[in-house]
Amino acid sequence: SLLLNATIRAREESGSEFLSYEQQRVVAQRPAAVHEVGRHDHGGRSRPQLGDHAVAGVSAAGNSFFAVFALSQLLGVGTAALISHAVGRKDQADANMVFNQSLGIATVLAVLTLVAVFTLSGAYLNTVSADPETVEQGKTFLHWSALSFSAQFALISMGAALRGTGIVKPGTIIQVATL
């Protein structure tokens, strides 16, 4: 709430910085997309030290990341839009309510993601994989990645709340630095 009040005062004093915000948003989204594409495209080179089954399993399982990415973006876009509208109206109670709802939805989606990964990964991989070894390698990847998949929802929700209040630089710096 102190952060929201400071943001409202800063916006009143400085005016609009739409272009700067959009530039920072583009910079914030690029590393994640480049990282994901880079994971799946190795320029025709193979990774013989991992083995064909491991590479195929991770590639098949990695497709599920895009589903998590899409759901988290839905949550993030809605959160940022609703909080920015509340901040524009100087309605701190509504902004806090939207933030709390967003974190609640993020928690539900995180739990559903964990349940889906541990219960449905075998069935999913059996439909997209050619052999049992690839399925096992894909399940191993998904099971080890499940917590990071589920944590994405809360991270996206909190980042969207900051963007909705006009605070973009810290999230962008952290995201770029962690890649």
Q: What is the pLDDT of residues 58-114, one digit of tens each?
A: 888 888 888 888 999 999 999 999 999 999 999 999 999 999 999 999 999 999 999
pLDDT on residue 19: 46
What's the pLDDT band for 168 if we cut at 50, 70, 90? confident
pLDDT on residue 54: 82
Helix (H) or strand (E) holding 166: none
Dihedral over Cα of 157, 158, 162, 163: its sign: negative
38 vs 33: CA distance, rounded Å: 8
10 Å CB burial of residue 35 (0-12, 13-18, 19+) is exposed
Report percent pLDDT > 70 for the chain: 71
Computed on alpha carbons and rounded to an integer, the radius of gyration of the chain in Å comes to 19
Considering only the C-alpha atoms of the chain, give the largest distance between any 2 of them, rounded to a whole number of Å: 62
pLDDT on residue 9: 55
Tell me if 174 sits within 8 A of 123, measured CB to CB. no
What's the pLDDT band for 5 if we cut at 50, 70, 90? low
pLDDT in tens, 143-157: 998 888 898 899 899
What's the pLDDT band for 7 if we cut at 50, 70, 90? low
pLDDT above 50 (res 18): no
Half-sphere exposure of 145 (CA within 13 A, CB side): 18
pLDDT on residue 97: 96
Distances in whole angstroms, Cα of residue 82 to Cα of each of 9, 33, 157, 158, 165: 19, 25, 12, 13, 10
Looking up tokens 């990282």 gives 35
pTM: 0.70
Residue in 36, 33, 61, 58 with CA at minimum distance from that of residue 47: 58
pLDDT on residue 167: 86
Q: Mean pLDDT over residues 1-10, rounded?
A: 52
Opening angle at CA 84, ends 25 and 80, nearest 5: 50
Residue in 103, 99, 111 with CA at minimum distance from that of residue 149: 111
Q: Mean pLDDT over residues 34-47, rounded?
A: 52
> Residue 129 CB: number of other CB atoms within 10 A?
21
